[in-house]
Amino acid sequence: MTIQKNIRNFSIIAHIDHGKSTLADRLLELTGAVPQDKMVEQILDDMELERERGITIKAHAVKMDYKNPADGKTYELNLIDTPGHVDFSYEVSRSLAACEGAILVVDASQGVEAQTVSNIYLALENDLEIIPVINKIDLPTARPDDVAEQIVEILGGDIDDIIKISARSGENVEKVLSAIIEKIPPPKGSADAPLRALIFDSFYDKYRGVVLYVRIVDGTLKVGDKILLFASNMEFEVDELGYLKLELERCSELTAGEVGYIMANIKDIRKARVGDTVTLSKSPAKEPLPGYHEAKPMVFSGFYPSNPDEFEDLRSALQKLQLNDASLHFEPESSAALGFGFRCGFLGMLHMEITQERLFREFGLNLIATVPNVKYAVYLSDGEVLWIERPSDLPEPTKIDHIEEPIVSAEIITPHEFIGGIMELVKNRRGEYIATEYVDPNRVMLKLHIPLAEIIFDFFDKLKTISRGYASLDYEFLEYRPADLIKLDVLVNGDMVDALSMIVHSEETYFWGQKIVSKLKELIPRQLFEVIIQASIGKRVISRARIAPLRKDVTAKCYGGDITRKRKLLEKQKAGKKRMKMVGSVEIPQEAFFAVLKIER
Amino acid sequence: MLKIHLPETIFKNFISNLDFCIFADNNIDMNHFYIHIPFCRKKCNYCAFYSIRYDETSAKRFLDSLLKEISTTGSRFFDKSQEGKDKLDTVHAKTIFFGGGTPSILDANDISKIISAIEKNFGVEKFDEATIECNPESISLKKLLIYRKSGINRISIGIQSLGEKFLKFLGRIHTKEDALSSLDTAFESGFDNVSADLIFGIPEQTKEDILRDIDEIISRGVRHISLYSLTPERNTPLEKMVATGRVKLPSSDELAEIYYAAAEFFKKAGFRNYEVSNFALPEYECLHNLAYWLGDYYLGFGPAAHSFYEDKRWHNINSLEEYVERLTNGALPSTDCETIGYKEKFEEFIMIRLRLADGFSIKEAAEI
Ligand SMILES: Nc1nc2c(ncn2[C@@H]2O[C@H](COP(=O)(O)OP(=O)(O)OP(=O)(O)O)[C@@H](O)[C@H]2O)c(=O)[nH]1
Ligand code: SF4
Ligand SMILES: [Mg+2]
């Protein structure tokens, strides 16, 4: 236990790839939390997927003990490294709620980008002390002085206080440590007040049950204490406490201001929600902590196990993932084409992709994911409002008064030579221009309103192409607005494939109708009979394609009675068919269910 | 006839020892024999059969080992005292088939020796059908006459194509001239059951090319043709050429086009498409291949030869060196024994019976 005034809790925030995790490496090294020989790059990115993709997906908390040369005292520094991608901004806001300060990292060659700005706002909302740091000054393209001006423009403050470092070489990183100690205030709570601990993260351990990551705001918690979880109103007995070092490190008590973990043999995952407050059952706090506003999923997709027997496995896997990813939403649904699955809500496409990948890697589940869509508000003629999370649920057009779709307010930071191209893209995506602001003499921030449905798929890739990689994008939900939307259905040999229905703008129905039909024609293998694919609006067919039947299979020589080989070949083909779904008598490969994503606009 | 019984434990043993012993029990249902001759003068571009370059020393070692394999297997299989029992239901003929490789590359007298060895060790008096695969470049009147004397009554010639550029593409070493004269020689030497192998689907080969070849071959008196489509088998030069894009094989529609045209042509000529790749005049179907398709048992000898008995399928090792070594050490060269359960048996039944024009009846399938 450290005396409270020697504790510092902070997050590292930045736009994606500006070097948060690398700075965390250097801090861990400087404080001796990781021995030199154990060091690997971005050591906190310990998930296989994070390492492969070189990005942070989950916030990672870690405790460092640091003897400050300036005053000879030992400090407990709790660092939370956060992800930079816009899909995971919810992770950032949760992390910030457990801290008193934030290190804002800005890349010296890229300068301020879209998530730099949005993260600054998040930190300010949480009343955090912000320590601005310019990173990668070792790069030949570094412009630390320009970038410093950009930062002051947004954040205010004294330009000389900005620390210029190279997280790669370690240059000036010790200055970051001193600033943490000097500028970030120690936690305020009282060790004697009734216990209030914020659950800011959690994960599921096969043997120990749910492990809670908490920030103790008030009070003291000891092993053996009976705790109460506010939201679920459930009691548990603490059987282990500890600090979040690179590995978990046991201790006997946690006290106000500290960050650590709790194990209390919690087996029911649903009882331990991130954002909930932990208190003691014998002397409970009166009020819970403010907690988190729930992360609202923006995109929805049906996840179906390729093997229908794995429906329950998928449910329990989703529950376990949710524990460690509070922004994941799901509820059961069924599809005529795909059987039983879950409609899942995500913060964005990367979030969806990562979730699918984790279900595969961590739980061995092969999934078919339907094309993602946004959530629509459907106003019926009788005044009722329906919230539609999957296109096939859209009622008959005659019953609908009007449909509303989510609009986001988006900010794009770009060098000004690309403004023309970007505005063209925005126009094609039904976007509305709002304003331009200068970030520095060469770069602007475009403010726009765009339908979310138009940006979730390939908008970002297009933006990067148009701006040769220079533009960055940030967005957040603004409001629902009426739009002229229509449901497009797909029929295969006359059977409607519910999982392929989509909601599109009425002016684009022919475009989508033709594209989806020709894409499916490419993807559906030829069968022993003719297959007709149609796109329709209501009863009206707007596009059609024919897949000619297969005429012949190989007539190779039989290897002197090698029947086994022939049978194995057949078995292999059959295994291939497992990845197919039957719609009527037609085999449809899994890729077909997200064919729309591969359509070029 | 003897039926042999292979206890499970012995098969397990056999898998681990790579050797097996079979108890002569009541009666044998073994009526089909396949002999693999693993030599060729040169490897063809598309070939995935086990064969190595021919030389006399290897051929001699092979023959010694083969004879040893036949006698060892025979003595374990066969008990003469049990002769004269019932035949298996589906088996109506006895066949032997020399495949390869290039069986005609061997000294013809070696073929006689092998046939005698089979006859002696398995108590066969006469084969209803005895086929030898020959390649145009290694066939001769003299060899053919010896074959006849030793009981061969069917010649299958690997013609593959009558187009010079296609033969070259395939990596065959004979010419159109060789091919046609080999047919003539076969008839001259007194064989009337002569078959030819043809390949279709060679890049640039047209429907007309194939029909012309078939016409020319049939008009010489050939009564059976196997028509295979060129397939890029694993680890062949052809596979590499296809993978690297140097060679583009026709699409399945183009293949279908040619195949159906050929089938039509055969029909007009009175040939029956009795199996997907095989066409024959009535009574000239290949009994040996039919045995495979009908699920009869067969024993294979020589490296890489396949065997099937009761619920076991196995094959010999794909290496002449190891084959010889095993037999020299008194062991048998078999490997990869697989037990065919109901599921496999059913799948095989459907798979192979559907290759036949006669197909199967639901009743037969239900009786598996
Ligand atoms: N030259 C140079 N490269 C750096 C420096 N710091 C980080 N990098 C590189 O920048 C890339 C991104 O670094 P990370 O530390 O993963 O960035 P991040 O901000 O954690 O990224 P996300 O977590 O995905 O948002 C890596 O290739 C680092 O090696 C630096 O000081 N100099
Ligand atoms: S002759 Fe036959 S066995 Fe020999 S290499 Fe050519 S195709 Fe293969
Ligand atoms: Mg990172």
Q: Could you give the percent of chain A with pLDDT greater than 90?
A: 67
Q: Which residue has the CA at smallest separation from atom 6 of ligand 2?
A: B44
pLDDT at A552 (0 to 100): 66
pLDDT digits (tens, 9 = 90+) for A251-290: 999 999 999 999 999 988 778 888 899 999 999 999 999 8
CA distance B46 to A378: 62
What's the CATH architecture for A377-483?
Answer: 2-Layer Sandwich (3.30)
Q: How far is B329 from chain A (nearest CA, A)?
A: 26
Closest CA to A268 of A341, A223, A323: A323
Identify the band that residue B27 occupies on the pLDDT scale cut at 50, 70 and 90.
very low
pLDDT at A1 (0 to 100): 62
Let me know the angle formed at the C-alpha of B140 by B137 and B142, rounded to the nearest 5 degrees. 160
pLDDT digits (tens, 9 = 90+) for B119-149: 988 888 889 999 999 999 999 999 999 999 9
A51 C-alpha to ligand 3 centroid (Å): 10
Across B93-109, average pLDDT? 93
* Residue among B40, B105, B231, B238 whose CB has most ligand 2 atoms within 8 A, to mutate: B40
Closest CA to A318 of A327, A60, A309: A327
pLDDT at B85 (0 to 100): 38
Are A560 and B34 inside 8 Å of each other by CB?
yes
How long a stretch of residues is chain B? Answer: 368
Q: What three-state secondary structure class fits A447? A: strand
All residues of chain B having their beta carbon less than 8 Å from the beta carbon of residue A551 are 252-253, 256, 260
CA distance A10 to A183: 11
Across B343-351, average pLDDT? 88
pLDDT at A327 (0 to 100): 86
Are B231 and A556 inside 8 Å of each other by CB?
yes
B234-239: long-range contacts at Cβ-Cβ below 8 A with a sequence spacing of 24 or more?
B234/B48, B235/B48, B236/B45, B236/B46, B236/B47, B236/B48, B237/B45, B237/B46, B237/B171, B238/B45, B238/B46
Does the pLDDT value for residue B82 go beyond 70?
no
Q: Spelled out in words, what is the top-level CATH class assigned to the domain A4-183?
A: alpha beta
Q: Which of A548, A561, A564 lies at the smallest CB-CB distance from B298?
A: A561
Across A157-186, average pLDDT? 96
- Looking at this protein, which amino acid is placed at residue A575? A
pLDDT at B29 (0 to 100): 64
Does the pLDDT value for residue A377 go beyond 90?
yes
Does the pLDDT value for residue A223 go beyond 90?
yes
CB crowding A444-483: b at 16 or more within 10 Å, else e? bbbebbbbbbbbbbbbbebbeebbeebbbbbbeeeeeeeb
Are B228 and A548 inside 8 Å of each other by CB?
no
A91 C-alpha to ligand 1 centroid (Å): 19
Q: What three-state secondary structure class fits B205? A: coil
Closest CA to A15 of A132, A97, A111, A95: A111
Q: Which residue has the higher pLDDT, B55 or A396?
A: B55
Does the pLDDT value for residue B90 go beyond 60?
no
pLDDT at B77 (0 to 100): 64
Does the bond joining B101 to the residue before it have cis omega, within 30 degrees of 0?
Answer: yes
pLDDT digits (tens, 9 = 90+) for B181-204: 999 999 999 999 999 999 999 999
Are A567 and B276 inside 8 Å of each other by CB?
no
All residues of chain B having their beta carbon less than 8 Å from the beta carbon of residue A555 are 227-229, 259, 276-277
pLDDT at B24 (0 to 100): 37
Does the pLDDT value for residue A575 go beyond 90?
no
Sign of the Cα torsion A576, A578, A583, A589 reads negative
What's the CATH architecture for A299-370?
Answer: 2-Layer Sandwich (3.30)
| B249 at A interface, C-beta within 8 A | no
CATH numeric code, A196-280 = 2.40.30.10
Identify the band that residue A578 occupies on the pLDDT scale cut at 50, 70 and 90.
low
Identify the band that residue B16 occupies on the pLDDT scale cut at 50, 70 and 90.
very low
Identify the band that residue B115 occupies on the pLDDT scale cut at 50, 70 and 90.
very high
**Ligand nearest to the CA of residue B304, numbered in listed order:** 2
How long a stretch of residues is chain A? Answer: 601
All residues of chain B having their beta carbon less than 8 Å from the beta carbon of residue A527 are none
pLDDT digits (tens, 9 = 90+) for A522-555: 989 888 889 999 999 988 999 999 998 887 665 6
Sign of the Cα torsion B195, B196, B201, B207 reads negative
- Lowest mean pLDDT, pick from A76-80, A248-252, A352-356, B23-27: B23-27
* Element spanning B148, H or E: helix B141-149
Please report, for chain A, the start and end positions of each structural domain, with discontinuous segments joined by +.
4-183, 196-280, 299-370, 377-483, 486-597
- ipTM field: 0.75
Residue B339: closest C-alpha in chain A:
A564
Does the pLDDT value for residue A469 go beyond 80?
yes
pLDDT at A203 (0 to 100): 87
Q: Which residue has the CA at smallest separation from atom 8 of ligand 2?
A: B47
CA distance B335 to B317: 6
pLDDT at B89 (0 to 100): 32
Are B344 and A567 inside 8 Å of each other by CB?
yes
Q: Which residue has the CA at smallest separation from atom 3 of ligand 2?
A: B101
Identify the band that residue A326 occupies on the pLDDT scale cut at 50, 70 and 90.
confident
Tokens found for residue A70: 């300036």
Q: Which of B226, B292, B351 lies at the smallest CB-CB distance from A561?
A: B292
**Chain B, 15-54: which have a CB under 8 Å from a chain A CB?**
34, 36, 48-49
CA distance A309 to A314: 10
| A569 at B interface, C-beta within 8 A | no
Q: Hey, how many other C-beta atoms are within 10 angstroms of the C-beta on B6?
A: 18
Are A561 and B228 inside 8 Å of each other by CB?
no
Tokens found for residue A181: 């100690």
* Residue among A22, A39, A41, A119 whose CB has most ligand 1 atoms within 8 A, to mutate: A22
pLDDT at B80 (0 to 100): 40
Q: How far is A550 from chain B (nearest CA, A)?
A: 8
Residue B307: closest C-alpha in chain A:
A561
Q: Does any ligand 2 atom lie closer than 6 A to the CB of residue B45?
A: no
| B231 at A interface, C-beta within 8 A | yes
Q: Which residue has the higher pLDDT, A549 or A591?
A: A549
pLDDT at A147 (0 to 100): 96
Q: Does any ligand 1 atom lie closer than 6 A to the CB of residue A119?
A: no
pLDDT at A47 (0 to 100): 85
Contact A212, A261 (CB under 8 A): yes
pLDDT at B78 (0 to 100): 53
Identify the band that residue B6 occupies on the pLDDT scale cut at 50, 70 and 90.
very low
Domains A377-483 and A486-597 share a fold: yes
DSSP A498: G
What CA–CA distances, in Å, run from B264 to B115, B205, B258, B259?
38, 18, 10, 9
- Lowest mean pLDDT, pick from A417-426, A512-521, A590-599: A590-599
Does the pLDDT value for residue B91 go beyond 70?
no
Q: Could you give the percent of chain A with pLDDT greater than 70?
A: 98
pLDDT digits (tens, 9 = 90+) for A389-410: 999 999 988 899 999 999 999 9
Which of the residue ranges A168-172, A296-300, B82-86, B307-311 has the most confident prediction, judged by mean pLDDT? A168-172
Q: How far is A559 from chain B (nearest CA, A)?
A: 7
A486-597 belongs to CATH 3.30.230.10: no
